[in-house]
Chain A
Amino acid sequence: MEFTLVTLLNGLSYGLLLFMLSSGLTLIFSMMGVLNFAHASFYMLGAYFAYTISLKIGFWPALIIAPLLVGLLGAAVERFGLRAVHKFGHIPELLFTFGLSFVIVEMVQMIWGRAAVPYPIPAVLDGPLFTLFTTHFPMYRGFMMLIAVLMLASIFLVLTRTRIGLVIQAALTHPDMVEALGHNVPRVFMLVFGGGCALAGLAGVIGGNAFVTEPGMAATVGSIIFVVVVVGGMGSLAGALLASLLIGVLQTFAVALDYSIATLFSSIGAMVTPQTFGYPVLKLTISQIAPIMPYLLLVLILIFRPRGLMGVREG
C-alpha cells in the first residue's frame, strides 16, 4: 500500500514533467506540422539558463526569466531558421531541428563544459512535504506537480478564453481563413513556437534540479517525449496528457519492481537455472526492462491503435 501510493505519486510527478515537455511539442506540431526535434534541447537550455541565473540572483527570478529567454530564443529560431526552410516542406523542417539539436548540445558543452553542473534545489523547498506511513514525500516533487498543474490550467484558459487563444485555435485548422480575416499567421506561428519552447524551458528550470543538469539530459527525455506524442495521438493535447501520465507511472513502477519471469516460475515450484532454455530472457527483471517500456508501448499502440490513444486523424 505504502509502496503503491508513493510510487504512484512519484510517477505522477514525472508524468506531469513529461507533459510540460510534450504539450509544447504537440502544440507546435498540430499548428505548424513541424515536429520540433530540438524540443528537448530547449528543455536543457532552460535548465542551464536557470542554473546561471540562480547563481547570480536566485532561483525565483530564474523561474520567470529562464523560460522567457528560452522562448525568445525559440521565436528567433522560428523567425530566422525554420521560416526559411518552410518552403521546402516538412521533412527539411524536421531535419533543420534535428541539426539544431546537435548544435545546441555542442554549444552547451562549449559554454558550460561536459560535466554536470551543480544546480541545487532551493533551500525553501528542500525537505519533506508530508509523510506517508514511513516514507517522506519531497516538497520539491509537490512543487513540480503544482507548477505543471498551474501550467496546464493556464494553457487551457489561454487557448479557450482569450482572443489570441481563439486565433491560435482557428489557425490550427484554417490558416488561410484566419489570414484572410486579417491576422498575421506567420507571427502567430512564431508566437506558438516561442511559447512551446518557453514551456520546455520552464520544464527545464524545475526538472534540471530535480534530476541532473548535464549535456546528456536532452537525449534522455528527447525520445520519450516523441513516444508520448505518438502514443497520445499526433497533435492531441489531451492525448499527450494521458500518455505522459501513463508512461510516467508505468516507468516509475517498473523501475521499482524486481521480479522476473524466473521468479514467477520459481514461485509456482518450477526450477529455473542458467541451463534452462531462454534463461537470458527469463532472468530479466521488470526493473531491467524499464528503459524499453515506453518503446514497447509505442509498438503495441501502433499495432492495435495506430492513431494513438486520443488521436482523431489517421496519418
Chain B
Amino acid sequence: MTTTTATIKFAPVLPLRWLAWFGFALLLCIAPLVFNKGASLSLLSQMGTVMIFALSYNMLLGQGGMLSFGHAVYAGLGGFFAIHAMNLAAAGKIWLPITLAPLVGGLAGMLFGVLFGYVTTKKAGTPFAMITLGIGELVFSCSLMFPEFFGGEGGVSTNRVYGEKFLGISYGPQIEVYYLIAFWLFVSAIGMYAFTQTPLGRIINAVRDNPERAEFIGYDTQWVRYMTLILSGFFAGISGGLSAINFEIVTAENVGAHASGAILFFTFIGGAGYFFGPMIGAIIGVFMTVMLSDFTKAWHLYLGLFFIIIVMYAPGGVARVIMQNLRVVEYGKFGRVWRSMTAVSASTLLAFFGAVIGIEMLYHLTLESANGTTRKLFGIMVDTAAAPGWLVAGTLLAIGAIGFRLALPGFRRAWGEVNAEIEEQIRRAA
C-alpha cells in the first residue's frame, strides 16, 4: 500500500512576499533621503532600534502569548555588554569592529535569556507576567548595587568612533549609524520572520493557543517557551547594542521597569497579532515619545489613555484596524460603513479635543500656576483658573461622549454585518 503525504502549505509562496521584503529594504534605504530635516535622522535611527526590540518582544507576546513585564532586561544588559566591549576595543584590549558590536549585545541578551528564562518560563500566563516583573526589578536593583559594571546613576558612556576606518566608514556621522541600524534591522526582521516559519515558531503558536494539546502531542511547553525566550533575548540584545552605538551611553534606566513597560505599550498599540504590527507600534511610540514630549508634559497620560482605548476597543492594535479596513475596501463594502464610521470618528475627535484642553489646563494649574495662570493652547491664550476655558473643554467632551454613545451601536452593527458577510464569502471560496 502506498501512502501519499500531502504537504500542507499555510500560505502560498507568492512573489508578493518577496516584493514586501524588497519594498521594506528599499524603504529603509530611501527613508533618510525623504525625511532629511532637522532631527528626523536621529528619530529614524531610534525607530530602527525600537523596531527590533518590539519585534523581539512580539516573539513572546504575539507568537507565544507570554506577557513579559521585564523584557528591557535583555536589551539593557545587551547594551551594557556591547558598550563595555566597545570601550575595551577602543582601549585596544580586544578586536571588535563596531559593525559587529550589536552581536556582542545579542549574545549577552541570549546568555541572560538562558539564565533568567529558566526561571520565568516555568510558568505561563499571569504568573509568567508577575515573575518577569520580579526579575526586572531584581536586575534593576542590582544595577544600582554594582556601579563598577553599570556605572551607577550616570551610566556607562563610550565613543563609537574608534579604530581604523573600514571602507571609509567611521560611524561618526549619524547617517552611517542609521545605515548600520537599518542593516541590522533588516537582518533581524528576516531572522525573526524566518523564526515564525520554523517548527519551533509553529509550535510556540500551538503552546500559546492550547498548551494542553501541545503537551499531548509530545512537546514540553516549558522547553518551547524557554527556547523562544532565549531567541527573543538575542534579538532584544541586538537592539540594545544598536541603541548603545546610537546614543553612546547606557544607563540603569535601560533595564528598568519603565523601558519594559514602554515596549509592551508600543508592541500592543502596533498590534501583536501581525508580524509587522510591532514595527508600526515602534514608529508611533517613538514618535509620541520624542515629539509629544516636546509639546506637552502630559504625554505619559496620553500614551496611557491611548493604550487603554486600544485595549478596550481595538485589542488587535493599529495593524488589525488597518488590515480590517483594507479587507472591507477590498470586498467593496466600504460604502456601507463609512457613514457610521465617520460619525464615530468625529465624535471621538471632539471628545479627544475637549479632553486635551481639560488635561492641559489642569496640568498647568497644578504644576505651573506659580508663574501665572494663563497659557497658550492651540494658539489661544487661556486663563486656566477662569471658567470659560473649562466650559469649552467640558462642552466638547460632553458632546463628543454623547455622540460616541449614540453613534457606536450603528457602527458596530454595520461593521459586524459587513465582516460577517466577508467571512461568509471567504468560507465559501475555500
Residues on A close to B: CB < 8 A? 29, 33, 35, 81, 84-85, 88, 90-92, 94-96, 98-100, 102-103, 105-107, 109-114, 219, 223, 226-227, 229-230, 234, 280, 284, 288-289, 291-292, 294-296, 298-299, 302-303, 306, 315
Contact = CB atoms under 8 A, between A and B. Distances in A.
Contacts of A294: 134
Contacts of A219: 257
A95 B130 contact: no
Contact of A306 (B123, B265, B363): B123
B138 A299 contact: yes
A99 B133 contact: no
Nearest to A234: B127
Given A113-B366, A223-B133, A306-B122, A315 B311 contact: no
Given A90-B126, A106-B298, A229-B130, A292 B261 contact: no
A218 B123 CA distance: 26
A223 B134 contact: yes
B268 A95 contact: yes
Interface string B299-325: 011011101100110010000000000
Interface string B4-17: 00000000000000
A10 B372 CA distance: 46
A280 B268 CA distance: 39
Given A88-B315, A280-B146, A103 B126 contact: no
Interface string B60-74: 000001010100000
Contacts of B308: 81, 96, 99-100, 103
Given A33-B126, A234-B127, A288-B145, 17 more contacts: A85-B312, A90-B125, A94-B126, A95-B67, A95-B311, A96-B311, A98-B264, A103-B305, A106-B298, A107-B301, A111-B366, A112-B366, A280-B148, A291-B141, A292-B142, A296-B138, A306-B123
Contacts of A284: 145
A104 to B, nearest CB: 9
Given A99-B304, A107-B301, A302-B119, A226 B148 contact: no
Contacts of A98: 69, 261, 264
Contacts of B129: 35, 94
A90 B311 CA distance: 12
A107 B308 CA distance: 14
Given A94-B67, A113-B367, A226-B133, A99 B138 contact: no
B67 A91 contact: yes
A292 B141 contact: yes
B17 to A, nearest CB: 29
Contacts of A96: 308, 311-312
In this complex, which of A81, A91, A298 has the most chain B Cβ atoms within 10 angstroms of its Cβ?
Answer: A91
Nearest to B137: A223
Nearest to A299: B119
Contacts of A114: 367
A315 B138 CA distance: 22
A234 B301 CA distance: 31
A302 B298 contact: no
B288 interface: no
Given A112-B366, A280-B146, A226 B257 contact: no
Given A88-B315, A113-B367, A230-B134, A223 B257 contact: yes
B384 to A, nearest CB: 12
The 5 closest A-B pairs by CB, nearest first: A102-B304, A295-B138, A106-B301, A103-B304, A99-B308
Nearest to A95: B311
Contact of A102 (B135, B148, B303): B303
B283 interface: no
Contacts of B141: 291-292, 295
B131 interface: yes
Given A112-B366, A296-B138, A306-B122, A102 B130 contact: no
Nearest to A113: B366
B249 interface: no
A227 to B, nearest CB: 5
Q: Which of B130, B257, B315 has the most CB of A within 10 A?
A: B130
A84 B314 CA distance: 12
B261 A102 contact: yes
Contacts of A289: 145
Contacts of B125: 90-91, 315
A85 B303 CA distance: 19
Contacts of A111: 362, 366
A99 B303 CA distance: 9
Contacts of A94: 67, 126, 129
B341 interface: no
Contacts of A91: 65, 67, 125
Nearest to B305: A103
Nearest to B147: A280
Contacts of B257: 219, 223
B303 to A, nearest CB: 7
B312 to A, nearest CB: 6
Most buried by A among B145, B311, B315, B363: B311
A92 B298 CA distance: 24
A223 B131 CA distance: 10
A196 to B, nearest CB: 16
Nearest to A89: B315
A110 to B, nearest CB: 5
A92 B315 contact: yes
